[in-house]
Amino acid sequence: MLSERRLQVLRAIVQDYVGTEEPVGSKALTERHNLGVSPATVRNDMAALEDEGYIAQPHTSAGRIPTDKGYRLFVDKLAGVKPMTAPERRAIQNFLEGAVDLDDVVARTVRLLAQLTRQVAVVQYPSLTRSTVRHVELLSLAPARVMLVLITDTGRVEQRMVDCPAPFGEASLADLRARLNSRVAGRRFADVPRLVEDLPEGFDAEDRGTVSTVLSTLLETLVEENEERLMIGGTANLTRFGHDFPLTIRPVLEALEEQVVLLKLLGEAGDSGMTVRIGHENAYEGLNSTSVVSVGYGSGGEAVAKLGVVGPTRMDYPGTMGAVRAVARYVGQILAES
Amino acid sequence: MLSERRLQVLRAIVQDYVGTEEPVGSKALTERHNLGVSPATVRNDMAALEDEGYIAQPHTSAGRIPTDKGYRLFVDKLAGVKPMTAPERRAIQNFLEGAVDLDDVVARTVRLLAQLTRQVAVVQYPSLTRSTVRHVELLSLAPARVMLVLITDTGRVEQRMVDCPAPFGEASLADLRARLNSRVAGRRFADVPRLVEDLPEGFDAEDRGTVSTVLSTLLETLVEENEERLMIGGTANLTRFGHDFPLTIRPVLEALEEQVVLLKLLGEAGDSGMTVRIGHENAYEGLNSTSVVSVGYGSGGEAVAKLGVVGPTRMDYPGTMGAVRAVARYVGQILAES
DNA sequence: CGTTGGCACTCGCACGCACAGAGTGCCAGG
DNA sequence: CCTGGCACTCTGTGCGTGCGAGTGCCAACG
């Protein structure tokens, strides 16, 4: 177990390194933080910290920089979440309240997060799984062609074409529309399959095929759209990454283009509370020199999607976590209102 | 006017520089291209080309590199469009045909373009202005709350909430839905305002306010959605930009995040045929060291939107133009089929 | 007059080297 | 356990040098 002072030294190292981006030495430490001990003592502590794997030196006789393990300890034990100031909170709220629709909410959230944290922001669209159906609309475009429109309680709209096995009259269509909505409106997506299971039985034999086709398309939509979409922004902040550009930045850009990777990244994060994944804790190799701070957000008490930021492991964790948490909270409010 | 040989020299310089990324000298030129003259002669020609502003030297006694003006001449007079090979064309077609909906078509197009050109791809969603209305759907969510869903012939769906000034019965809603669709279904967006102008007159006084509100929301949607959206991809290719990273890449990333800038960029390009904007020809300052190759694409004969790539001025123009043209052509086909 | 070979000149760049500065590890003493 | 001192190890930087690529100019040639 590390002594109290050694933890303080680690904290000081992380703070200084995040600020200066340069390896920090024993002398500089004692000058900038009044630890009450001499550089020599700090050197001993640093040697111990290095033995434990919390810090490392890039080359012999250079200062120390935190390792992933060091950051981990810092985040878990040494740093709190820095709350936003009142003016900042007000600014966030104002900015988000200007949104006109769901797309706009997401877009504004991305901009906001990127600006506050000066890093790359990632925001997942509110998930369908936990959402409820507001309305299902069926439109006849041709005798054997129906358009299915699904409207969710988060204001999202999905549409699908359905090619029917047989012509389908307007009357039958209206009938189906009515029965379908009476069963699923207001219900959770997860419950829909069970609720519509026996629906075809109420129809004439000739229409039954079409009804089944429409229903299976609906179910498909529910599942498929679970492969959720997301929006990213603030990629220009990647230029503040480090000195050795191309090599560091390229894999990150590639990861950001792969929605699958990002979704997995967010998905792996815990469902409740804020998650911080540091460096090699990220499964995806390209993100080994980045940290991901993510948190769930949602309209009610429970989370329907996640948002977060991707930045260098050398980041201001307390500040970033504060910003992420605050934004998530206010987005939740906005979604609940609309 | 430049002699034939001098143009050949310019062409050779551009080709070599694009390939090697290094200033090209007179000796190397005569070796790699058999111009039939000696280095000394080429030197004279190069001096002349430099006087005219087509090429420049980074520092005294280095080779020459093309200027924006040089690239311009190259593109206009010296280079054709390199057609895609048959296998490439087949690959493009296969890849695009796998798309399941409009979003997917656009997403695939972006990926494809980025991969083919190894540059940043930008694809505009098919524009609404020139599209036609397939269907307008009205849904009653609450007594005084209607949801308006607009479906276009390109398969795009837009929805809007409408708060009615007075409760609006199901019967009136069905009536409005029917009349509205009989007037606008299949018509061009541009014609819609004229077509619905006198629609409120056919309704009871108590409903007239609501009808007007719905109609004006519809018109708003048509206009607003003209601020079209776009999708970008292949940003990882920015890492192949040049040697002096952060400075070059940052403004480009910033520009790419500003949809407004990109839309303006595409909008400024000519409506028909391919447009190439080189370096300082781009109005936006951040893109002064990039070239933009864009072209319109559309489902019928006429263009409904644009797509293109953004890359360093030092790019393979014939190849890039070939890829852009081919992709635009096949996307048009796909859109026409669906 | 255009083309050519020759020649002197100019830079940028890589290399070697020495030096200062920062930081460490270790040790002996308080 | 803390502290001051000391020797050691690196890296980054500045400077001088030599090399090579490339240019511009000029005189000669067809």
pLDDT (tens digit, 0 to 9) for every residue of chain A, 338 residues total?
A: 778 899 999 999 999 999 999 999 999 899 889 888 999 999 999 999 999 999 999 888 889 999 999 999 999 999 999 999 999 999 999 999 988 777 889 999 999 999 999 999 999 988 766 678 888 888 887 788 888 888 877 667 788 888 888 888 888 888 998 899 899 988 888 888 899 988 888 888 889 989 999 999 998 888 766 557 889 999 999 988 766 666 788 899 999 998 889 988 888 877 778 999 999 999 999 999 999 999 999 876 666 789 999 999 999 999 999 999 999 999 999 887 76
Residue B137 near chain A (CB below 8 Å): yes
Nucleotide minimizing C1' to CA distance for residue B62? D22
Closest CA to B207 of B177, B164, B178: B164
* Average pLDDT of the segment spanning B276-288: 94
pLDDT tens column, B81-123: 999 999 999 999 999 998 877 788 999 999 999 999 999 999 9
- B101, B236, B245: residue with CB nearest A245: B245
Query: A146 pairs with which residues across the strands?
Result: A140, A162
Query: B148 pairs with which residues across the strands?
Result: B138, B160
Pair of tokens at residue B287: 């893109």
| Three-state DSSP string of chain A | CCCHHHHHHHHHHHHHHHHHCCCECHHHHHHHCCCCCCHHHHHHHHHHHHHHCCEECCCCCCCEEECHHHHHHHHHHHCCCCCCCHHHHHHHHHHHHCCCCHHHHHHHHHHHHHHHHCCEEEEECCCCCCCEEEEEEEEEEECCEEEEEEEECCCCEEEEEEECCCCCCHHHHHHHHHHHHHHHCCCEHHHHHHHHCCHHHHCCHHHHHHHHHHHHHHHHHHHHCCCCCEEEECHHHHHHCCCCHHHHHHHHHHHHHCHHHHHHHHHHCCCCCCEEEEHHHCCCHHHCCEEEEEEEECCCCCCCEEEEEEEECCCCHHHHHHHHHHHHHHHHHHHHHC
Size of interface A-B (CB pairs under 8 A): 66
Residue A227: the pLDDT is 59
- A157, A234, A239: residue with CB nearest B250: A239
Burial of A192: CB neighbours in 10 Å, binned 0-12, 13-18, 19+:
buried
pTM: 0.81
Residue B71: the pLDDT is 97
Chain A residues within 8 A of B152 when measuring between CB atoms: none
pLDDT tens column, A174-209: 899 889 989 998 888 888 889 998 888 888 888 998
Chain B residues within 8 A of A160 when measuring between CB atoms: 101
Residue B239 near chain A (CB below 8 Å): yes
CB–CB of A239 and B256 under 8 A? no
User: Which of A180, A245, A252, A262 best tests the B interface by mutation, with the highest count of B CBs <10 A?
Assistant: A245
* Average pLDDT of the segment spanning B41-70: 94
Q: Quickly give A56 CA vs C24 C1' distance in Å.
A: 13
Whether residue B188 is predicted with pLDDT greater than 70 in this model: the reply is: yes
Report the run of H or E that residue B91 belongs to, with start and end.
Answer: helix B86-97
Closest CA to A33 of A3, A7, A2: A7
Residue B12: the pLDDT is 95
Whether residue B60 is predicted with pLDDT greater than 90 in this model: the reply is: no
Residue A10: the pLDDT is 96
Residues A280/A283/A284/A287 CA torsion (nearest 10 deg): -30
User: Which of A230, A257, A287 best tests the B interface by mutation, with the highest count of B CBs <10 A?
Assistant: A257
b/e sequence B80-116, b meaning 16+ C-beta within 10 Å = ebeebeeeeeeebeebbeebebbeebbbbbbbbbbbb
b/e sequence B1-36, b meaning 16+ C-beta within 10 Å = ebeeebbbbbbbbbbbbbeeeebbbbebbbeebebe
CB–CB of A139 and B159 under 8 A? no
Residues, chain A: 338
b/e sequence A97-117, b meaning 16+ C-beta within 10 Å = eebeebeebbbbbbbbbbbbb
Q: Is the CB of B66 under 7 A from strand D?
A: no
Give CA separation, B286 vs A3, B265, B306, in Å. Answer: 52, 12, 21
CB–CB of A137 and B157 under 8 A? no
* CA dist., res. A258 & res. B233, Å (int): 10
C-alpha B316 chain-centroid distance: 18
pLDDT tens column, B1-25: 678 999 999 999 999 999 999 999 9
pLDDT tens column, A1-17: 778 899 999 999 999 99
* CA dist., res. A306 & res. A293, Å (int): 10
Closest amino acid to nucleotide C11 (CA–C1'): B61
HSE-up of residue B243 (Cα within 13 Å, Cβ side): 3
Residue of A nearest to B114 (CA): A257
Residue A245: the pLDDT is 67
* CA dist., res. B97 & res. A73, Å (int): 51
Helix axes of B317-337 and B86-97: crossing angle, nearest 10 degrees: 40
List bases, strand D, within 7 Å of protein CB: 2-5, 8-11, 20-26
Q: Quickly give A41 CA vs C29 C1' distance in Å.
A: 15
Residue B330: the pLDDT is 94
Nucleotide minimizing C1' to CA distance for residue B40? C4
Helix (H, G, I), strand (E, B) or coil at B163: strand
Residue type at A250? R
Residue B302: the pLDDT is 66
Chain A residues within 8 A of B250 when measuring between CB atoms: 236, 239
Phi/psi of residue A100, each to 5°?
Answer: -100, -30
Query: B55 pairs with which residues across the strands?
Result: B66
Residue of B nearest to A232 (CA): B257
Nucleotide minimizing C1' to CA distance for residue B37? C3
According to the per-residue pLDDT averaged within each range, which of A147-156, B169-178, B313-322 is highest? B313-322
Q: Are A111 and A232 spatial neighbours (Cβ–Cβ below 8 Å)? A: no
Nucleotide minimizing C1' to CA distance for residue A43? C24
CB < 7 A to strand C: residues 4-63, chain B? 5, 36-38, 40-41, 44, 59-62
Share of chain B above pLDDT 70, in %: 94
CB–CB of B257 and A250 under 8 A? no
CB–CB of B245 and A250 under 8 A? no
